[in-house]
């Protein structure tokens, strides 16, 4: 971890004071040139098919992050290495708007729409999804090439595909620790090549990833279950029901974490869908499922990964929703939880 990089412009920063309204992520004074870790926000949710609002997640997390106290019990003042978030792109917001409108034609389709109209809508969604992938890949590669660490802040869970491609170029032997309620192994769900429900299918079939370790999975179809079984040399899934059963029979979480960590290679990329947590933490996420992990269980697992000598090389955090635009909900709690989880992911990544 780098030492204090404060320069003359940031030397007056007081980490114990309230965050300034115009400050960066977590109230920090760094820009992406100064930061050791850069966060790339991706306001995207074109293919979500249940609850909406995840495209608003990056902005909600940014605002909520200014309430996070910077001193960390595990890492002290690790923020001094520098953490900065890229500006949220207006262009991506427009791409999301256009793709979301097209996707809704398909998701809400009735018998009156001609097949040609539906196909054109599907093609439009897939077109913009590929543009998002290219954008995320280019941005991630740019910062990795500068020697920085990178985290992706979604958006729905389709957004990290380009980042994973870029990370694999630099870390070809890495594995993914995938925390989620869903297996995300569906092939082109609802006709969308890069659906939020297909992220890990695309990673397993379109990249050279050698190891996927899934934790908290509790919502999946038979096709996904069969995919896991037929790729058991590359996919190790810790189903939520099995984890709960082990705990009920007296096996402590530390020993369970040892089993999870043992399945991981030396270099670990964390792909985190917030619905992997018990939905009491983020009730407005797009597809909440009963069950899931406790907040502290997740933090303990990350600590176990680092303590094992493995390196957390990067991460993505997705599906945090403050509520769908135009719908009266209070998603401040979701953003608060997301911001605090993001800070711990930053800490363990910088520590590793």
The string of pLDDT tens digits covering residues 24-67 is 999 999 999 999 999 999 999 988 866 689 999 999 999 999 99
Q: Which residue has the tokens 């791409």?
A: 95
**Residue 190 confidence (pLDDT):** 78
Asked whether residue 204 carries a pLDDT value surpassing 60, the answer given is: yes
Report the C-alpha dihedral over residues 198, 200, 203, 205, rounded to 10 degrees: -70
Q: Look at residue 9 in the predicted model and tell me its pLDDT.
A: 56
Measured CA to CA, the distance from residue 321 to residue 342 in angstroms comes to 14
pLDDT at residue 326, as a whole number: 55
Give pLDDT tens digits for 245-255. 999 999 999 99
Strand ranges across the sheet with 311-318: 83-85, 37-42, 149-154, 311-318, 267-273, 175-179, 212-217, 235-239
Q: Which of 106, 14, 11, 21 is CA-nearest to residue 67?
A: 21
- For residue 254, what is the enclosing H or E element? helix 253-262
Which architecture characterizes domain 25-348 according to CATH? 3-Layer(aba) Sandwich (3.40)
**Rounded mean pLDDT of the chain?**
93
The pLDDT-based confidence of 286 (bands split at 50, 70, 90) is: confident
- The whole-number average pLDDT for the span 187-215 is 93
Cβ contact 186:201 at 8 Å: yes
Tell whether the model's pLDDT for residue 73 goes beyond 70.
yes
Q: Given this model, what pLDDT does residue 276 score?
A: 98
pLDDT of residue 2: 44
CA distance 314 to 39: 10
Query: Is 1's pLDDT higher than 70?
Result: no
The per-residue pLDDT for 188 is 81
**HEC assignment per residue over 140-182:** HHHHHHCCCEEEEEECCCCCCHHHHHHHHHHCCCCEEEEECCE
Instruction: Give pLDDT tens digits for 291-346.
Output: 999 999 999 999 999 999 999 999 999 999 998 765 555 678 999 999 999 999 99
Q: Quick one: average pLDDT of 239-250?
A: 98
Question: Which tens digits make up the pLDDT trace of 84-123?
Answer: 999 999 999 999 999 999 988 887 766 677 888 888 989 9
Percent of the chain with pLDDT over 70: 93
Between 1-5, 235-239, 266-270, 306-310, the lowest mean confidence (pLDDT) is in 1-5
The residue-averaged pLDDT of 258-264 equals 98
Residue 138 reports pLDDT greater than 60: yes
pTM recorded for the entire structure:
0.94
Query: Counting Cβ atoms within 10 Å, is residue 268 exposed (0-12), middle (13-18) or buried (19+)?
Result: buried
Across-strand partners of 277?
Answer: 293
With a cut of 80, say whether residue 259 has pLDDT above it.
yes
What does the pLDDT read at residue 112?
A: 74
């Amino acid at each position: 971890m780098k030492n204090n990089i404060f320069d003359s412009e940031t030397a007056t920063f007081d980490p114990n004071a309230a965050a300034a309204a115009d400050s960066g992520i977590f109230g920090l004074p760094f820009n992406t040139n100064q930061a050791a870790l850069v966060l790339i926000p991706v306001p995207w949710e074109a293919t979500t098919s249940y609850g909406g609002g995840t495209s608003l997640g990056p902005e909600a997390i940014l605002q909520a992050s200014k309430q996070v106290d910077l001193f960390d019990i595990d890492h002290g003042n690790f923020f001094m290495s520098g953490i900065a978030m890229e500006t949220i792109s207006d262009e991506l917001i427009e791409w999301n708007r256009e793709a979301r409108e097209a996707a809704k034609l398909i998701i809400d389709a009735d018998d009156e729409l001609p097949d040609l109209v539906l196909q054109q809508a599907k093609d439009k969604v897939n077109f913009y999804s590929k543009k998002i992938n290219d954008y995320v890949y280019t941005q991630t590669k740019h910062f990795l090439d500068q020697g920085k660490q990178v985290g992706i802040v979604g958006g729905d869970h389709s957004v990290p595909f380009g980042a994973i491609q870029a990370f694999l170029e630099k870390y070809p032997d890495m594995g993914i620790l995938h925390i989620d309620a869903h297996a995300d192994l569906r092939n082109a769900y609802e006709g969308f090549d890069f659906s939020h429900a297909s992220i890990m299918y695309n990673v397993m079939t379109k990249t050279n990833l050698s190891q996927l370790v899934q934790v908290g999975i509790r919502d999946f179809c038979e096709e996904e279950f069969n995919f896991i079984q037929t790729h058991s040399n590359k996919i190790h899934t810790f189903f939520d029901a099995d984890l709960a059963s082990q705990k009920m029979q007296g096996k402590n979480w530390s020993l369970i974490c040892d089993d999870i960590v043992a399945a991981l290679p030396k270099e670990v990329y964390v792909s985190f869908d917030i619905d992997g947590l018990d939905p009491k933490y983020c009730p407005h996420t797009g597809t909440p499922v009963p069950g899931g992990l406790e907040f502290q269980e997740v933090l303990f697992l990350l600590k176990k990964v680092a303590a094992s000598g493995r390196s957390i090389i990067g991460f993505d955090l997705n599906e945090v929703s403050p509520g769908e635009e135009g719908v009266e909900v209070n998603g401040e709690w979701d953003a608060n939880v997301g911001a605090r989880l993001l800070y711990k992911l930053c800490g363990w990544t910088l520590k590793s």
